[in-house]
């Protein structure tokens, strides 16, 4: 029995020595998956997970401490919708390759078991040999202690605060390593882009420059996404839109002082003009050039602290472990003097190395945030760019408002001409006929007067319906909430209305919100085949928020046009937004937000 325990303790000590190698392979597998090769990355991560799973089984068989496997199941393959598109969050893709890649990357990176595996591999190189060698002398109790320690690291359990701190530090340290590799790529690409800019303009091939600028835009877009998801610093993306060339009256396109029949030269020139005049392009190239030096400057403290940790604790510890098996002279004769001093003074170097290791974990999140701020400082749109985009947005919404007003006037004119006006003309003709028949055929005259009376009622009803289509009286007199409740009372489908609007919105916003809400309810009943609808109206933080949810079949998509696009145009005039969640099979939830003040 003692021999068996001793052999198992020695095996645990030897197997733990492979921890750094597996840790590096694990990290490389995640990096490869993140950088665009999920198949190879998953294969490497799978091998490392199999090795860690083997350690769990050994803890149960040798140490009598069973540990359950904590890995999350792999995400299912993305399925196409009715139109054949593959969806990931708010983006549609024609093929499942990109959604599947993003799902697999998030599955690997966000699984808590990944961080626990890597921390166990790293710490196991210290704890494993120590407890394994002690188990050779102490027997099964020490081996069981190793199993309990392994269970604290690898079992699916709620992490403690200090574990969260360590995991966050290791995670951010890994992200900093990825950002360092990307910074090298960015700087190299920035230098190449500058060279290409000079060459294309010297050689007269400047129309190729927009493709080079597009590469800078893609790399900068990746930097913005990483700053938002990793550093917690969202960076907006704002580029000038491409001004499409407009043909002349005779069908030609102007290219400088020349007229061309094909639009391609004019389009290439428009792309070049945008690449040269958009300040965001220059900031992209400048960020690519500066990302390497700035990231190196940020990582300098981490490198210095890692050096202190390595020479103060890590390397001396393994040398001390190695001297249990072989006697050899001091290996510090030819190393740098400060490193030799740290290695030769374990009473001072050990605590200092441990302090350096803790400082690295504490400093990594701070440096990650600083890198995000550096990215935002250069890649975020300037106030001038925001103002220009705002002016363009106002011009678009103004054009939408003018179009909507023109369409509404034409509808009213058509309804008056084809409906009420025709009935009034017919009413006048019948009255004239009755006037002529009142002496000769009084019975026929009475019939005509009766028909005229019915026609006047129908004309009045059409006129009231037309007035309600322009602006319902209840909306004018009692406000948005009561107008929506009045609509709910007239429907067969039960509509629940909850409201917390302590006041009246401006008249134009009330009308826009009312008709948009009416359109959403109509869509839910007519297209969604909903059996119940719920409307929530609330005003908070200077925003009127209307949420319409139903239990219909779902599948609504504002990109397909129709009424939803009209709602966006209607509330977009007031800087309002519409967010829609409508998966196939339902339910559907539409939220409108319109900034306004209550009176």
Q: Is 594 helix (H, G, I), strand (E, B) or coil?
A: strand
pLDDT of residue 559: 66
pLDDT of residue 447: 83
* Sequence spans of domains, the chain: 1-72+111-157, 169-239+278-381, 392-467, 476-595
Distance between CA atoms of residues 280 and 284, nearest Å: 6
Distance between CA atoms of residues 519 and 548, nearest Å: 10
CB-based contacts of 23, cutoff 8 Å, min separation 6: 118, 121, 122
On whether the CB atoms of residues 131 and 65 are closer than 8 A, the answer is no
Of 385, 597, 397, 371, give the one whose Cα is nearest residue 503: 597
DSSP state of 558: G
What are 77's strand-pairing partners? none
On whether the CB atoms of residues 331 and 319 are closer than 8 A, the answer is yes
Q: Assign residue 457 a region (left: φ > 0; alpha: ψ between -120 and 50; beta: otherwise).
A: alpha
On whether the CB atoms of residues 121 and 51 are closer than 8 A, the answer is no
Same fold, 392-467 and 476-595: no
Other CB atoms within 10 Å distance of the CB of residue 286 = 14
Of 582, 587, 491, give the one whose Cα is nearest residue 530: 587
Task: Please state whether beta strands 533-540 and 495-500 pair in parallel, antiparallel, or not at all (unpaired).
Answer: parallel
Helix 480-490 to helix 507-526 angle, to the nearest 10 degrees? 20
One DSSP character per residue, 473-492 reads HHHHHH-HHHHHHHHHHH-S
Distance between CA atoms of residues 32 and 556, nearest Å: 37
Distance between CA atoms of residues 595 and 599, nearest Å: 13
The gap between the terminal CA atoms of the chain, to the nearest Å, is 86
Q: What is the dihedral of CA 256, 262, 263, 269, to 10 degrees?
A: -40
Of 101, 123, 108, 115, give the one whose Cα is nearest residue 46: 108
- Residue whose token pair is 């009209």: 566
Distance between CA atoms of residues 553 and 544, nearest Å: 27
Residue positions counted in the chain: 599
Per run of 10 residues, the mean pLDDT along the chain (length 599 residues) is: 74 80 83 72 82 84 80 79 71 77 77 82 80 77 82 76 85 90 93 90 81 89 91 87 80 78 83 86 92 92 88 81 72 73 78 88 91 92 84 79 78 81 83 83 83 84 78 83 86 86 86 87 84 89 89 75 76 83 80 87
pLDDT of residue 181: 92
pLDDT of residue 75: 79
Helix 346-379 to helix 161-202 angle, to the nearest 10 degrees? 50
Burial (CB count within 10 angstroms: exposed 0-12, middle 13-18, buried 19+), residue 431: middle
pLDDT of residue 189: 93
> The whole model's pTM is what?
0.58
What counts of helices (H) and strands (E) characterise the chain?
20, 9
CB-based contacts of 215, cutoff 8 Å, min separation 6: 189, 193
Q: What's the CATH code, domain 392-467?
A: 1.20.5.1930
pLDDT of residue 78: 80
Q: What's the CATH code, domain 476-595?
A: 3.30.565.10
pLDDT of residue 82: 64
């Amino acid at each position: 029995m003692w021999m068996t325990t001793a052999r198992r303790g020695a095996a645990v000590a030897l197997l733990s020595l492979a921890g750094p190698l597996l840790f590096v392979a694990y990290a490389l597998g995640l990096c490869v998956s993140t950088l665009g090769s999920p198949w190879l990355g998953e294969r490497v991560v799978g091998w490392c997970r199999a090795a860690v799973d083997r350690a769990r089984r050994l803890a149960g068989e040798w140490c009598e401490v069973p540990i359950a496997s904590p890995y999350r199941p792999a995400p299912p393959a993305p399925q196409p919708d009715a139109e054949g598109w593959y969806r990931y969050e708010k983006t549609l893709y024609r093929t499942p390759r990109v959604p599947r890649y993003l799902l697999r990357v998030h599955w690997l990176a966000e699984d808590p078991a990944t961080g626990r595996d890597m921390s166990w591999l790293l710490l196991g190189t210290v704890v494993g040999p120590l407890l394994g060698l002690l188990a050779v002398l102490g027997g099964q109790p020490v081996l069981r202690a190793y199993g309990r320690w392994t269970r604290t690291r690898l079992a699916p359990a709620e992490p403690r605060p200090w574990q969260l701190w360590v995991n966050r530090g290791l995670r951010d340290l890994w992200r900093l390593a990825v950002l360092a590799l990307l910074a090298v790529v960015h700087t190299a690409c920035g230098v190449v882009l500058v060279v290409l800019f000079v060459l294309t303009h010297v050689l007269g091939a400047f129309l190729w420059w927009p493709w080079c600028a597009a590469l800078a835009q893609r790399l900068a877009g990746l930097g913005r996404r990483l700053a938002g998801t990793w550093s917690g610093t969202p960076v907006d993306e704002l580029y000038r839109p491409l001004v499409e060339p407009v043909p002349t009256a005779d069908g030609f396109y102007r290219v400088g002082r020349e007229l061309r029949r094909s639009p391609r030269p004019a389009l290439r020139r428009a792309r070049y003009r945008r690449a040269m005049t958009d300040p965001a392009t220059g900031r992209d190239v400048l960020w690519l050039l500066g990302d390497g030096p700035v990231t190196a400057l940020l990582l300098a403290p981490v490198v210095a602290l890692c050096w202190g940790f390595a020479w103060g604790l890590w390397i001396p510890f393994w040398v001390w472990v190695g001297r249990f098996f072989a006697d050899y002279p001091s290996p510090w004769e030819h190393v740098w003097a400060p490193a030799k001093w740290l290695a030769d003074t374990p009473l001072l170097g050990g605590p200092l190395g441990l302090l350096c290791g803790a400082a690295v974990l504490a400093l990594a999140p701070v440096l990650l945030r600083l890198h995000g701020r550096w990215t935002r400082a250069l890649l975020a749109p300037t106030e001038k760019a925001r103002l220009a985009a705002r002016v363009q947005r106002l011009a678009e919404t103004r054009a939408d408002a003018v179009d909507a007003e023109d369409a509404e006037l034409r509808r009213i004119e058509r309804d008056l001409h084809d409906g009420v006006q025709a009935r009034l003309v017919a009413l006048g003709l019948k009255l004239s006929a009755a006037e002529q028949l009142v002496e000769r055929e009084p019975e026929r005259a009475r019939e005509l007067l009766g028909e005229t009376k019915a026609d006047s009622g129908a004309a009045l009803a059409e006129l009231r319906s037309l007035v309600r289509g322009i602006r319902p009286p209840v909306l004018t007199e009692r406000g948005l909430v009561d107008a929506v409740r009045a609509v709910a009372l007239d429907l067969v489908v039960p509509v629940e209305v909850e409201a917390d609007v302590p006041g009246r919105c401006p008249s134009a916003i009330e009308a826009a919100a009312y008709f948009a809400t009416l359109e959403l309810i109509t869509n839910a009943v007519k297209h969604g085949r909903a059996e119940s609808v719920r409307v929530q109206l609330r005003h908070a933080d200077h925003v009127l928020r209307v949420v319409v949810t139903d239990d219909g079949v779902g599948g609504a998509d504002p990109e397909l046009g129709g009424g939803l696009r009209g709602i966006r145009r209607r509330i977009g005039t007031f800087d309002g937004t519409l967010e829609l969640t409508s998966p196939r099979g339902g339910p559907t939830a539409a939220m409108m937000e319109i900034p306004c003040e209550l009176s």
